[in-house]
């Protein structure tokens, strides 16, 4: 019997129109373009403006972009997963709303939360449903409205994050393309270093928590940086050794976009030059669950059938990992 693998067969994206530049941030906090550019690689990010627009707005747009480009009938989609750290509502699945709005009337849907690793973990989930033969079309979306949980008076976080969404469709493949291997990790030690303190079951919201700014993202940047560099590099290297790949076999490194220096350190360990590293952090900053699918959408035209891609991510929790995937189509 031919083995069924799970391939990405279409991608889509959406970023909001509003561009938040380093210059504008200089008017909110004590920072400057030179510091932000040299320490992070970020020049600008997109921000979703407008009353009543949440993460679902961007998720829907990215799914519509995907469906329109590849002429996908939403009624054929079996499952919609939305990877997000910023759901529309604390209770009520964002994915369920997105599925209904895009016309995926025969799908079931749920959210997946693993901070910046949500899309990476979601790739594993989507692929497993396909490989098992249970479903034929799984739509995985990574979307985050980070501006809804960022304190624009905190220079340690406000310079980093942006809003956006990307989508990828997973379908069965009989040519051994698609997801080949994965190594996914987590460690609860990270909870102290990157978190939103209040608003969950540990500390429900009160006037006091709002006053104290405990509903915003808190990050101990230096510590997270250290863990991110060593762990992203370790798991990426593991994907190569475990699959007997050399750097020449790799066409693309697809790294989470948190900091240009973390990306470069991972690339060095994998041994690939910058021409093989997908990067858009200068334009979008860190969009959390959306970084990986945004990269795929931005680089889609350069990808060729059979290309070997190494995905790597690191995020709050801590959560991290790497995935080895063979690209399945020429665009
Ligand atoms: O995606 C989820 C995972 N997240 C990450 O992977 C993020 C990991 N962390 C980082 O990317 C970096 O740690 C940051 C970009 C957040 C910070 O960069 P850093 O090089 O680690 O800076 P630092 O916190 O060590 O601060 C260095 C100096 C300090 O000044 P002193 O004490 O040396 O005088 C800070 O006060 O830079 C100062 N500083 C700033 N200066 C201008 C910190 N933030 C800023 C700022 N503008 N925005």
Is the distance from the beta carbon of residue 116 to the nearest atom of ligand 1 less than 6 Å?
Answer: yes
The ligand 1 atom at the shortest distance from the C-alpha of residue 259 is 11
- Is residue 281 located within the same domain as residue 202? yes
Co-location of 287 and 318 in the same domain: yes
Q: Report the atom number in ligand 1 closest to the C-alpha of 288.
A: 1
Identify the pLDDT of residue 188. Answer: 97
The pLDDT value given to residue 1: 67
CA 194 / ligand 1 centre spacing (Å): 13
Whether pTM exceeds 0.95: yes
- Catalytic residue among 22, 173, 231, 256, which? 256
The atom of ligand 1 lying closest to the CA of 228 is: 6
Q: Is 286 a catalytic residue?
A: yes
> Looking at residue 11, which CATH number applies to its domain?
3.40.47.10
End residue of a domain, out of 131, 155, 176: 176
Span from the CA of 58 to the centroid of ligand 1 (angstroms): 29
Q: SS3 for 190?
A: helix
Q: Is the CB of 16 under 6 A from ligand 1?
A: no
Residues 206, 171 share a domain:
no
CA distance 249 to 246: 5
Q: Which of 176, 192, 222 is the last residue of a domain?
A: 176
315 lines ligand 1 (CB under 6 A): yes
Assess if residue 246 is contained within a domain: yes
259 Cβ inside 6 Å of ligand 1: yes
Which conformational region is residue 42 in: left (phi greater than 0), alpha (psi within -120 to 50 degrees), or beta?
beta
Same domain, 107 and 208: no
Instruction: Please state the separation of Cα 292 from the chain's center in Å.
Output: 4
- Specify the residue with its C-alpha closest to ligand 1, atom 21: 222
Reading the chain (331 residues) residue by residue, the pLDDT tens digits are: 689 999 999 999 999 999 999 999 999 999 999 999 999 999 999 999 999 999 999 999 999 999 999 999 999 999 999 999 999 999 999 999 999 999 999 999 999 999 999 999 999 999 999 999 999 999 999 999 999 999 999 999 999 999 999 999 999 999 999 999 999 999 999 999 999 999 999 999 999 999 999 999 999 999 999 999 999 999 999 999 999 999 999 999 999 999 999 999 999 999 999 999 999 999 999 999 999 999 999 999 999 999 999 999 999 999 999 999 999 999 9
Q: Which domain holds residue 68?
A: 5-176
Do 184 and 154 sit in the same domain of this protein?
no
Number of domains making up the chain: 2
**Atom 23 in ligand 1: which residue has the minimum CA distance?**
222
Q: Is 42 in the pocket of ligand 1 (CB under 6 A)?
A: no
Same domain, 60 and 147: yes
> Is the same domain home to 159 and 187?
no
Q: Show the tokens assigned to 241.
A: 């050794």
Reply yes or no on whether 256 is catalytic. Answer: yes
Q: DSSP class of residue 198?
A: S
Residue 331 covered by a domain: no
Per-residue model confidence (pLDDT) at position 98: 98
Phi, psi of 52 (to 5 degrees): 75, 15
Q: What is the per-residue pLDDT for 40?
A: 98
Query: Which listed residue (116, 158, 259, 308) is catalytic?
Result: 116
Residue 292 in any domain: the answer is: yes
Q: Return the beta strands (E) in the chain as ranges.
A: 5-14, 18-21, 44-47, 79-83, 108-112, 138-145, 163-173, 178-186, 194-196, 217-219, 252-255, 308-315, 319-326
- Residue 286 Cβ contacting ligand 1 at under 6 Å: yes
**Structure confidence at residue 128 (pLDDT):** 98
Distance 225 CA to ligand 1 centre (A): 9
Residue 247 lies in a domain: yes
**DSSP code of 250?**
-
79 and 17 both lie in a single domain: yes
Q: Could you tell me if 290 and 165 lie in one domain? A: no
Report the C-alpha gap between 114 and 101 in whole angstroms: 24
Indicate if 159 and 189 belong to the same structural domain: no
Between β-strands 18-21 and 5-14, what pairing exists: parallel, antiparallel or unpaired? unpaired
Are 199 and 167 in a shared domain?
no
Clarify whether residues 263 and 187 are in a common domain. Answer: yes
Last residue of a domain, one of 143, 160, 176: 176
Which residue CA neighbors atom 44 of ligand 1 most closely?
156
- CB distance 297 to ligand 1 below 6 Å: no
Query: Do the domain assignments include residue 150?
Result: yes
Cα-to-centroid distance, 35 and ligand 1 (Å): 9
Cβ atoms of 216 and 158 within 8 Å: the answer is no
């Amino acid at each position: 019997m031919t083995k069924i693998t799970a391939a990405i067969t279409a991608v889509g994206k959406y970023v909001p129109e509003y561009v938040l530049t380093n210059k504008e941030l200089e008017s909110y906090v004590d920072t400057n373009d030179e510091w932000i550019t040299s320490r992070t690689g970020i020049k600008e990010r997109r921000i979703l403006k407008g009353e009543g627009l949440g993460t679902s707005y961007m998720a829907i747009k990215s799914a519509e972009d995907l469906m329109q480009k590849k002429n996908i009938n939403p009624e054929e989609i079996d499952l919609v997963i939305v990877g997000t750290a910023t759901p529309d509502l604390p209770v009520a699945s964002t994915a369920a709303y997105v599925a209904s709005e895009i016309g995926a009337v025969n799908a079931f849907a749920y959210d997946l939360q693993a901070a910046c690793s949500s899309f990476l973990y979601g790739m594993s989930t989507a692929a497993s449903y396909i490989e098992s033969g249970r479903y034929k079309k799984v739509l995985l979306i990574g979307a985050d409205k980070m501006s809804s949980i960022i304190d624009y008076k905190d220079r340690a976080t406000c310079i980093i994050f942006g809003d956006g969404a990307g989508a990828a469709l997973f379908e069965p493949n009989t040519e051994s393309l698609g997801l080949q291997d994965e190594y996914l990790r987590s460690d609860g030690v990270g909870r102290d270093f990157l978190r939103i303190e209040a608003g969950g079951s540990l500390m429900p919201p009160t006037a006091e928590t709002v006053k104290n700014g405990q509903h915003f993202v808190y990050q101990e940047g230096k510590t997270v940086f250290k863990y991110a560099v060593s762990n992203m590099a370790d798991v990426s290297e593991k994907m190569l050794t475990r699959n007997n790949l050399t750097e020449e076999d790799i066409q693309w490194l697809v790294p989470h976009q948190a900091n240009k220096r973390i990306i470069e350190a991972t690339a060095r360990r994998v041994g690939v030059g910058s021409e093989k590293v997908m990067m858009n952090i200068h334009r979008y900053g860190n969009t959390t669950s959306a970084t990986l699918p945004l990269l795929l959408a931005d680089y889609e035209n350069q990808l060729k059938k059979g290309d070997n891609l190494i995905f790597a991510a690191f995020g709050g929790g801590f959560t991290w990992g790497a995935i080895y995937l063979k690209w399945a189509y020429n665009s």
